[in-house]
C-alpha cells in the first residue's frame, strides 16, 4: 500500500497529468481527430501556464498554510501551557546521501527547516524531548539518522533527542508516536511544513493525540514592508510556482486519501 500510494501520488501531480495530456494531444494531431488534439494541446498549455503562475499557486497553497498559525511566542506558551510541553515531534522529510557533499546538502532543505524550528522550540522547553522521526525510504539510512548527524555536526544537539527510524510516512509517524508516548507525557508540539500541517494534525488526531501545531517553511509569504514589486514577477510562470502548485495537490490528495482510509477524522483536518 505504501508503494501504491507513492506511485499514485506521482501520477496525479499536475505536471505528470499535463505531460500525459500533451502527449495525447500530440498523437491526436496525426489522426482524423486532429481538432481534438489541437484543442487538448491548447488546454494543456493554458493549464501549465496557470499552474506555473504564482497567483494561482498561492491561492491553492494559502488555505493549507494558513490553517494553523505559526508558533511565534514559545516563551509565552511555556509560561501558560498546562500540562507542560514534554515532547517536540519533528517529522522527517527525506534525504539523498552523497559522500562528496556535506550533510547540509544531503538533507532536504525542508527537513533542515523543520529541524531548526524544533531546536528553536526546544530551547524554550529545555526539559522536553526532541523526537526526530523518519525511516529509510530509499536505501538503508533512516532520515532521522541523517538529521541527527546534521544537528551534531553544527552543534545543535544540546537537549534530549530521540529518533524513530521505522516510520516511512506521516501516518506511520503518528502511529509510532502514539505507541511511544506514555500516559505521563504532557503536551506535544508538532513541527512540519505549513502546507503539510493540516494533514499531519489530522493523522495525529486520528491516533488520539492533540499536538500543538508549529508550522514552518511557509511558501506563501507577504511582501516585505517597503519592498517594491519585482518587474514582471506577477505575470511570468516559474518552476517555483509550479512546485507550490504540486505541493498543494499533494496535500489535498493526501488529506482525501487519509479520510478514505479512516486515518483522518472527517470532521477535522
Residue 248, domain member (yes or no): yes
For residue 115, what pLDDT is reported? 94
Residue 57, domain member (yes or no): yes
What cell was used for 17?
A: 497529468
Residues 47 and 99 grouped into a single domain: no
Condensed to tens digits (0 to 9), the pLDDT of residues 142-179 reads 999 999 999 999 888 777 999 998 888 999 999 999 99
Query: What is the overall mean pLDDT for the chain?
Result: 89
Range of the domain at 15: 2-64+236-260
Residue of higher predicted confidence among 11 and 101: 101
Q: Among 168, 209, 191, 199, which residue's Cα sits nearest to residue 90?
A: 191
Residue 265, domain member (yes or no): no
Q: Among 114, 190, 214, 119, which residue's Cα sits nearest to residue 158?
A: 119
Residues 27 and 156 grouped into a single domain: no
Residues 49 and 78 grouped into a single domain: no
| DSSP code per residue over 141-156 | S-HHHHHHHHHHHTT-
Residues 127 and 50 grouped into a single domain: no
Residues 204 and 248 grouped into a single domain: no
Residue of higher predicted confidence among 209 and 8: 209
What's the number of domains the chain is made of? 2
Domain holding 135: CATH number?
3.40.50.620
Residues 19 and 57 grouped into a single domain: yes
Residues 86 and 171 grouped into a single domain: yes
Residue 135, domain member (yes or no): yes
Q: Say whether pLDDT at 269 is over 60.
A: no
Condensed to tens digits (0 to 9), the pLDDT of residues 103-122 reads 999 999 999 999 999 999 99
Q: What percent of the chain has pLDDT over 90?
A: 69
Residues 171 and 247 grouped into a single domain: no
Residues 126 and 245 grouped into a single domain: no
Residue 228, domain member (yes or no): no
Condensed to tens digits (0 to 9), the pLDDT of residues 242-268 reads 999 999 999 999 999 999 999 999 765
Residues 86 and 190 grouped into a single domain: yes
For residue 5, what pLDDT is reported? 64
Residues 114 and 145 grouped into a single domain: yes
Residues 79 and 200 grouped into a single domain: yes
For residue 4, what pLDDT is reported? 67
Residue 221, domain member (yes or no): no
For residue 266, what pLDDT is reported? 76
Residue 77, domain member (yes or no): yes
Phi and psi dihedrals of 162, rounded to 5? Answer: -125, 150
Q: Say whether pLDDT at 183 is over 60.
A: yes
Condensed to tens digits (0 to 9), the pLDDT of residues 54-104 reads 999 999 999 999 999 999 999 999 888 889 999 999 998 888 889 899 999
Residue 266, domain member (yes or no): no
Question: What confidence tier does 47 reach under pLDDT thresholds 50, 70, 90?
Answer: very high
Q: Give the whole-angstrom CA distance, residue 160 versus residue 178.
A: 19
The alpha carbon of residue 15 and the mean position of all alpha carbons in its chain are separated, in whole angstroms, by 18
Question: What confidence tier does 1 reach under pLDDT thresholds 50, 70, 90?
Answer: low
For residue 234, what pLDDT is reported? 62
Amino acid at each position: 500500500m505504501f508503494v501504491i500510494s507513492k506511485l499514485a501520488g506521482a501520477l496525479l501531480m499536475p505536471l505528470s497529468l499535463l505531460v500525459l495530456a500533451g502527449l495525447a494531444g500530440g498523437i491526436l494531431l496525426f489522426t482524423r481527430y486532429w481538432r481534438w488534439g489541437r484543442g487538448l494541446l491548447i488546454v494543456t498549455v493554458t493549464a501549465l501556464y496557470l499552474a506555473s503562475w504564482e497567483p494561482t499557486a498561492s491561492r491553492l497553497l494559502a488555505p493549507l498554510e494558513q490553517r494553523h498559525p505559526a508558533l511565534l511566542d514559545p516563551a509565552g506558551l511555556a509560561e501558560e501551557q498546562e500540562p507542560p510541553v514534554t515532547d517536540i515531534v519533528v517529522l522527517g522529510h527525506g534525504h539523498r546521501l552523497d559522500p562528496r557533499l556535506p550533510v547540509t546538502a544531503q538533507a532536504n532543505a525542508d527537513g533542515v527547516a523543520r529541524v531548526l524550528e524544533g531546536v528553536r522550540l526546544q530551547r524554550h522547553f529545555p526539559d522536553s524531548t526532541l523526537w526526530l522521526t523518519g525511516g529509510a525510504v530509499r536505501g538503508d539510512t533512516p532520515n532521522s539518522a541523517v538529521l541527527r548527524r546534521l544537528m551534531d555536526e553544527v552543534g545543535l544537539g544540546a537537549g534530549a533527542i530521540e529518533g524513530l527510524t521505522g516510520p516511512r510516512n506521516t501516518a506511520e509517524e503518528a502511529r509510532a508516536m502514539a505507541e511511544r508516548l506514555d500516559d505521563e507525557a504532557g503536551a506535544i508540539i508538532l513541527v512540519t511544513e505549513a502546507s503539510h500541517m493540516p494533514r499531519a494534525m489530522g493523522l495525529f488526531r486520528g491516533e488520539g493525540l492533540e499536538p500543538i501545531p508549529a508550522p514552518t517553511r511557509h511558501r506563501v509569504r507577504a511582501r516585505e514592508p517597503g519592498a517594491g514589486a519585482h518587474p514582471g514577477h506577477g505575470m511570468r510562470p516559474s518552476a517555483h510556482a509550479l512546485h507550490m502548485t504540486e505541493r498543494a495537490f499533494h496535500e489535498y490528495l493526501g488529506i482525501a486519501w487519509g479520510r478514505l482510509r479512516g486515518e483522518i477524522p472527517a470532521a477535522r483536518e
